[in-house]
Chains A and B, each alone.
Chain A
């Protein structure tokens, strides 16, 4: 049975994306019964996580898998065991898939070179977070009545692109799906030579609306970025890079990988009702991760199956 790691979306084709999302839909509709029965999924989280960890655990359990969770506290990780030694141990114990969250970019790829079990990247440093991008595509497809409807839509990615693993997975995933992507951020939060990517760089959410954004994809501004070195103040950031009530109401959708900093990325006054896909994103996580687990362990060969 063929297994495969999920490390990033950079080499994932449009057809593969569609396959994964179709399989996720099959999970959501209850058309697949316990495909992971008798498999063991290990969750190795070297960094704190609530929604991703819970989402993966539910995804595994609802597909019939046994789940073993390791967190930094209460495992040998806290004794200083290295990343490679930990994943090799899990591999030797017979894990069928290892879901890895780690604070360093490239950790998932490094781990995958030392295990026979597939590695599923649940976020590594500022590197990649591929299942986040997949669940975003799932939630957006759902809101727009299908994957085919994504092509030609305009998504403005707003905020700390430089330090965001979400952005590094969302950008290739969205572009592959035919979405037009733009960046909205100060240069202090953008990678150098952003123009070389061939995507527009806009200076405010207002400008993104003028550009014709169908979706505002808001990234979380980490607390440590608010100290003045890269962003002068929350007041200035929220004024130019935050969603305010006046942006909404014309059908624009708001996405955010969570957790939201109210008053920073999204103004406190904003009522996120029909325009918000944030809870849909969270809800999509389970079926999408079930699909990823099923494909990576080889329990399901193709979405069409």
Chain B
């Protein structure tokens, strides 16, 4: 729950290493927060309430434009409360909730209901994505203008992909008129008939594959239509080298952005050999050649940012043979640490670019947060880069535990998350003398 700003007392974060590529800040500084905004940044600031952040890094709060909080319909897997707690634990201050729930978020009354529940139950700023087509069935347009009035932030066909180019084109045209961005999950269902990436690893263990072309042809279609219709289109979870190249080709000629996920940046289809259902995801984990292409694109800015595709599943849906398991991984709580450990400590991505890709760029996309400028909303993440921690299923805030990183030791721990000046996640309250 985000409380009324007037109720939030002043707070000074002292001696943090402030790193914010959007403003160029990169040094040890104090930050004064008042009335949910950043009031002052400088040295020697004091206040009645202080957080000693010596040795910690302070970033603009992370923003995740791709999350499944399973509400309504599968509250056994995630609720708005637990999803937002998981997001906060991962340093996220803003999230976009995907519409493939039960019922599907395709009617204004569902949107307005979710918006009200978010106000009551979410610790972070959660935005609602409505469906692009009724029932996510790829035929009838949703009432996008009424959905927007009800509080929808964007529209998406996530989870299913769109039936045909003609249908998608009208969807983009109408979304443009409604003033809503479109988030697209690019997957051609006539090609994506398997459960893993169609390649050597899948063939060796005898699992049916979905070729990279399932993503690439759908991505190409989406990009061509985005350029033609002028719609604001965001391609989510780009996972192949060719799709990245296509995004790069269209970036200048269309209102297009794109993201990839922590797991597509850090894991490959070698995990298919385990035959474990917990490694099933859409789009599937790819060979290292694709992973390298995606990583390079994130480094170069061809991919704008990272989104987690946080997709909780009950254990009875994941602890199954690969072919029977539900696709999807938890993402919020491990995103920063997984990327920091593998890419930053691995010398393949700068810390500044990672912060840009997790905070600034997605913050710009949603139009709020992602910056530590004076006057900006006080959405902040304090991270202890030196802390090494094991991903333990019992310690996860999510109601589900389908993380592909379970059991792994990661570096970099989010210790405090602040939304609108309020500490919504804090593992160090005792140390600092403030309580979450």
Contact = CB atoms under 8 A, between A and B. Distances in A.
Interface of A: 186-188, 192, 203, 227-233, 235-236, 239-240
B151 to A, nearest CB: 16
B167 to A, nearest CB: 7
Q: Which of A203, A229, A233, A240 has the most CB of B within 10 A?
A: A229
A187 B142 contact: no
B140 A236 contact: no
A201 to B, nearest CB: 9
A203 B180 CA distance: 13
A145 B304 CA distance: 59
Interface residues of B, number: 19
Interface of B: 134, 139-146, 167, 170, 173-174, 176-179, 228-229
Contacts of A187: 173-174, 176-177, 229
Contact of B170 (A192, A230, A233, A236): A230
Contacts of B179: 203
12 contacts: A186-B173, A186-B174, A187-B176, A187-B229, A227-B140, A228-B139, A229-B139, A229-B141, A229-B167, A232-B140, A232-B144, A233-B143
B170 A188 contact: yes
A232 B173 contact: no
Nearest to A186: B177
B174 A230 contact: yes
Nearest to B141: A232
A228 B140 contact: yes
A192 B173 CA distance: 10
Given A187-B174, A187-B176, A232 B142 contact: yes
A187 B228 CA distance: 12
A186 B174 CA distance: 6
Sort A-B residue pairs by CB-CB distance and give the 9 closest, nearest first. A228-B140, A187-B173, A186-B177, A232-B141, A236-B143, A232-B143, A187-B177, A188-B173, A188-B174
Contacts of A233: 143
B161 to A, nearest CB: 18
A235 B144 CA distance: 12
Given A187-B176, A229-B139, 6 more contacts: A187-B173, A203-B177, A228-B139, A235-B146, A239-B145, A240-B145
Q: Which of A186, A227, A233 has the most CB of B within 10 A?
A: A186
B220 to A, nearest CB: 20
Contacts of B174: 186-188, 230, 232
B170 A229 contact: yes
A239 B139 contact: no
A229 B140 contact: yes
Nearest to B146: A236
Contact of A230 (B141, B144, B176, B228): B141
Contacts of A236: 143-146
